[in-house]
Each structure stands twice: as structure tokens, then as C-alpha cells.
């Protein structure tokens, strides 16, 4: 039995999984945010929802502000979980983390995902139109996040929670702002990209451009909704991921 890993606090009760799905959070998100997604998968697929430092079960740890530092720590933390066939999923900030994590795992451990799933994020070579968010006041920043649908009404009405979330959001936007795309050979892992038809953060056209970053198969699917369209799309996305795992058997 594996020793508990603070990066993956909620692995469920899968006794003999045949495959794993590593899920990386959006800015301000945590492992619990994937609870609904986890419930969409059968017993034989273990969903490993990542908990980043400074939130959720790791609230007492310092926040990370640098992209390279975070990806390096992630690769080291989940390397032991790549002993089974695995895929990586990430939404928004998590999509960039997923992409670079897959590269890091291959460079350091010679392992790569069977499939890479990226959601609600422009392709990595496209300049970030939203870096201005990092320079706004705390109030303006959180209002913008709320406009994107990232803060539920019950959280918005609790100022203690908003204050706590503000620090996390600022750290995560710093992570995104510190990301510098380096041109390199396309990924060997196939990529499937998901977009919201009304997402102001990542347009359908920007998400489609992920096709440039794989030399294997590429697929794209758009769903109705804004930036957090993925919450309603989870059942369909899970079925698609399961079909890919089945095809690889």
C-alpha cells in the first residue's frame, strides 16, 4: 500500500485500478472541485485530483507563485502513480500545468500520458490576453473572477472566504504570469481540447490551436457555456475519456 501523498488526498476506494486520470485544478481550485468528475468514472479508473499547496487539505503550506517550481514538484510527486496507463486532464490554469507536467514526466522519468485533455485554456503558444488581471486591486480581481463564474454566490457573501480565496487567486495568477512558452517538438501524446462556446477567457478559436502541440491524434469539442462550462460537461467528458482508455487496452 502506498504512503499517503499530500498532492493526491482523495483517491477514492479503487482496489485494483487498470488506469489513472490525473486532474489539475483551475486557478483558485482544489482537489475537492473534482468530486463531481470523479463520480462519473467506473471503479477501474482511479481519478487522482491534485491538491496544490496553500489550499484545501494543504491550507497550512505556503502558496507557490512560480510555474517552473510548481511543475517540477508535481512531476516528482506523481511519478510513482505512472506505473499504470495514465492520462492527464486540466481546466484553465490546469491545462497549462497538464501540458508542461506531461513534458516534465517524459524528460525526467521517460513516461508520458496516453492522452492529454485540456479544457478552457488557449493553446500555450498564444500570448496571455489576461495578464492585466495580476495588476488589478484585490477587489477588482475578485469581481473579474466572479464574472467568469469562479465564485459561487454563497462564497461571495462570506467575506472571510473571499479574503482567503483572494490570496490563492493572486498566487495562481502569478503562476500563470510566470509561464513562458518554449517552442519545441509536438507532444507524442494525443490531445483532446474542450472549449465553452461563450468563454471570454479562452475562445473556441484559441482552444482549437492546441492541435499544433501534438504529433499524434487531435480532437476538439465545444460545449455550451462560459468559462466553467466544464461542470455541466463532466459526464460527457468522462465517457469520452473512458472510451479512449478502452481503445488502448
Tens digits of residue pLDDT in 50-64? 999 999 999 999 999
> Contact at 8 Å (CB) between 151 and 42?
no
On whether the CB atoms of residues 53 and 63 are closer than 8 A, the answer is yes
Does any domain span residue 172? no
Q: Domain of residue 219: give its range.
A: 19-127+183-248
Residue-wise pLDDT tens digits, 75-130: 999 999 999 999 999 999 999 999 999 999 999 999 999 999 999 999 999 988 76
Mark whether 216 is an active-site residue: no
Residue 170: pLDDT band (50, 70, 90) is confident
Pairing of strands 86-91, 19-24: parallel
Kindly give, in sequence order, each residue whose CB lies less than 8 Å from that of residue 29, ignoring residues fewer than 6 positions away: 55, 91, 94
Q: What is the pLDDT of residue 1?
A: 41
User: CATH number of the domain that 235 lies in?
Assistant: 3.40.50.1820
- Which of 26-30, 60-64, 157-161, 180-184 has maximum average pLDDT? 60-64
Please report whether residue 169 resides in a domain: no
CA–CA dist 134, 137 (Å, integer): 8
The DSSP string of 202-222 is: S-HHHHHGGGGGBSS-EEEEE
Assigned domain for 173 exists: no
Task: Tell whether 145 is covered by a domain.
Answer: no
Chain centre distance of CA 75: 14
Q: For residue 142, is it within any domain?
A: no
pLDDT at 157: 76
With respect to residue 132, please indicate whether it lies within any of the assigned structural domains. Answer: no
Question: Per the domain annotation, does 192 fall within a domain?
Answer: yes
pLDDT band at 139 (very low <50, low <70, confident <90, very high): confident
Question: What is the C-alpha to C-alpha distance for residues 79 and 61, in angstroms, rounded to an integer?
Answer: 21
How long is the chain? 249
pLDDT band of 3, cuts 50, 70, 90: very low
The answer to whether residues 50 and 24 touch, using CB atoms and an 8 Å cutoff, is yes
Which pLDDT score, from 0 to 100, does residue 93 have?
A: 95
Give the per-residue pLDDT at 166: 83
**DSSP label of 187:** B
Q: How many domains does the chain have?
A: 1
Give the residue ranges of DSSP H helices in the chain.
35-38, 67-78, 93-109, 138-147, 153-156, 159-177, 204-208, 230-248
Task: Considering the candidates 72, 92, 178, 243, report the single residue annotated as catalytic.
Answer: 92
Determine the Cα–Cα distance for residues 203 and 198; give it in Å rounded to an integer.
7
Q: Is residue 226 part of a domain?
A: yes
pTM assigned to the model: 0.92
- Which of 90, 45, 66 lies closest to 192 in space, CA to CA? 90
Amino acid at each position: 500500500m502506498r504512503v499517503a501523498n499530500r498532492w493526491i488526498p482523495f483517491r477514492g476506494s479503487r482496489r485494483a485500478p487498470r488506469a489513472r486520470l490525473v486532474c489539475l485544478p483551475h486557478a483558485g481550485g482544489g482537489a475537492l472541485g473534482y468530486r463531481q468528475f470523479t463520480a462519473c468514472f467506473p471503479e477501474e479508473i482511479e481519478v487522482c485530483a491534485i491538491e496544490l499547496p496553500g489550499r484545501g487539505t494543504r491550507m497550512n503550506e505556503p502558496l507557490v507563485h512560480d510555474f517552473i517550481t510548481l511543475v517540477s514538484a508535481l512531476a516528482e510527486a506523481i511519478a510513482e502513480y505512472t506505473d499504470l496507463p495514465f492520462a492527464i486532464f486540466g481546466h484553465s490554469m490546469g491545462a497549462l500545468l497538464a501540458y508542461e507536467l506531461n513534458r516534465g514526466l517524459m524528460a525526467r522519468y521517460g513516461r508520458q500520458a496516453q492522452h492529454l485533455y485540456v479544457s478552457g485554456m488557449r493553446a500555450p503558444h498564444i500570448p496571455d490576453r489576461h495578464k492585466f488581471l495580476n495588476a488589478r486591486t484585490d477587489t477588482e480581481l475578485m469581481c473579474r473572477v466572479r464574472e467568469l463564474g469562479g465564485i459561487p454566490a454563497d462564497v461571495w457573501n462570506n467575506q472571510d472566504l473571499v479574503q482567503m480565496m483572494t490570496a490563492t487567486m493572486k498566487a495562481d495568477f502569478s503562476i500563470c504570469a510566470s509561464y513562458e512558452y518554449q517552442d519545441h517538438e509536438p507532444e507524442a501524446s494525443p490531445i483532446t481540447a474542450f472549449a465553452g462556446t461563450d468563454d471570454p477567457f479562452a475562445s473556441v478559436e484559441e482552444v482549437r490551436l492546441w492541435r499544433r502541440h501534438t504529433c499524434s491524434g487531435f480532437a476538439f469539442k465545444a460545449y455550451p457555456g462560459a468559462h466553467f462550462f466544464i461542470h455541466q460537461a463532466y459526464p460527457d467528458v468522462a465517457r469520452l475519456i473512458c472510451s479512449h482508455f478502452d481503445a488502448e487496452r
